[in-house]
Amino acid sequence: MNIFRLRLPESLSRLSGPRRRWRRKAGLCFSGKGGMVKGMDNGRVQDGVGGSGWVWRYRTPEPFDDLWLGSDGEALTGVWFAGTREVAGEERWMPVFGEACRWLDGYFAGRPPEWVPALKLVGATAFRREVSEEMRRIPFGATATYGEIAAAIARRRGVAGMSAQAVGRAAGWNPICIVIPCHRVVGAGGALTGYGGGLHNKRALLELEREMR
C-alpha cells in the first residue's frame, strides 16, 4: 500500500508569489572536480553523529544553511546542517564525499540521482533502521505523516498498532539528513513539526521540492 501523497503541508500551501530562484552562495562549491571549500569552519564530529573519522563542508544554495558531511572512510555516516550539531574529526577529502556532493548537486538542482552514496547508520537500532527505510521510500516532492509511517511498520510487523511518537523520535535521530529524507515527514494534517536541522531548512527543502517536481 502506498502511503505517500504528492501534497503540500498547510503552512506551505499558503505561500504565493513567483518561483524562488535557488542561487549558489559566494565561494567554492564542489562540482565533481574536487577541491577545497572556501570559508571552512573548524571543529570536531561526535562519534555516531558524523562518524568517527573525517568531515567535509558542502556549500548549499541560498537560503539553506551549509551542510557538513561525515565519513568513516568507507561510507557516508552523517549529513547535517551547520550549526545544529558539534563537528569533530579531521577535515579530509574522501571519495565518498565526492559521491555525496554529486548527489547533493543533483538534489538542489531538482534532479536527485536514483543512486545514493554508500551509507552507514552508526548506532542504529532495528526500529530506527525500519523508520529510515520508510523515510527513504517517500518520493521527491511527497510527504508522509508520522502516523502513516507508524501504521506501515505495524502492518509489516503484523501488529495492531505502532506509536507515532516513537517514529518521531527515530526520525529525529536520523544522522544523514536529506539523503534519508526525514524532512518529508510531517505532523498530522501536514503540520511542520520539529526538525533537528531547523524548521527554516525543513520549510525550504519542502518548498524546493514543490517547485522542482
E strand intervals along the chain: 23-24, 54-58, 61-62, 67-71, 76-81, 90-91, 144-145, 185-186
Annotated catalytic residues are 182
Distance CA 74, CA 68 (A): 17
Amino acid (1-letter code) at residue 33: K
Q: Is 47 in a helix, a strand, or coil?
A: coil
Distance CA 106, CA 37 (A): 18
Distance CA 192, CA 99 (A): 30
Q: Characterise 32 by phi-psi region: left (phi > 0), alpha (psi -120 to 50), beta (else).
A: left
